[in-house]
């Protein structure tokens, strides 16, 4: 699975991307975030406040219960501030 991080999520994790194998039993975006948060202090800090996070699966906005597969591109980022 391709993971992408943007803005302060990227900064707190200290990576703009990482490629990981999706563990068995992790089937939704929400479960993915729970698992990612255990990977480092940076991940935990970046992913602590779910209200401040937005997720895209394969470049489309997703919900915490959106299914994720190992061949997906999942991006995690703060609420957008363009325009």
Partner 1 sequence: MLTTRVQPGPFDLGAEVAVLTAGRSDIGAVVSFTGLVRDVALTLEHYPAMTERQLAAIAADAAARWELLGATVIHRFGSLAPADPIVLVATAARHRGAAFAAAEFLMDWLKTRAPFWKREAGGGWVEAKATDDAAAARWVIPS
Residues lying near partner 1 in the complex (CB under 8 A) are found at 4, 6-8, 56, 59-61, 73, 75, 77-83
Residue closer to partner 1, measured from CB, 23 or 54: 54
Residue closer to partner 1, measured from CB, 32 or 57: 57
Compute the distance between CA of residue 36 and CA of residue 22 in angstroms, rounded to an integer. 10
Residue closer to partner 1, measured from CB, 23 or 65: 65
Write down the least CB distance from residue 68 to partner 1, Å.
16
Write down the least CB distance from residue 83 to partner 1, Å.
4
Tokens of 18: 């990482």
Write down the least CB distance from residue 78 to partner 1, Å.
6
- Are 27 and 1 within 8 A, CB to CB? no
Closest CA to 36 of 24, 22, 25, 49: 22
Closest CA to 76 of 38, 40, 36: 36
């Amino acid at each position: 699975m391709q993971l992408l991080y943007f803005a302060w999520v990227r900064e707190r994790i200290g990576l703009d991307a990482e490629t990981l194998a999706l563990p068995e039993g992790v089937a939704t975006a929400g479960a993915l975030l729970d698992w990612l948060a255990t990977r480092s202090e940076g991940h935990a800090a970046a992913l602590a406040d779910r209200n401040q996070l937005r997720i895209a699966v394969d470049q489309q906005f997703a919900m915490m219960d959106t299914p994720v597969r190992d061949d997906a591109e999942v991006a995690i980022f703060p609420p957008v501030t363009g325009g």
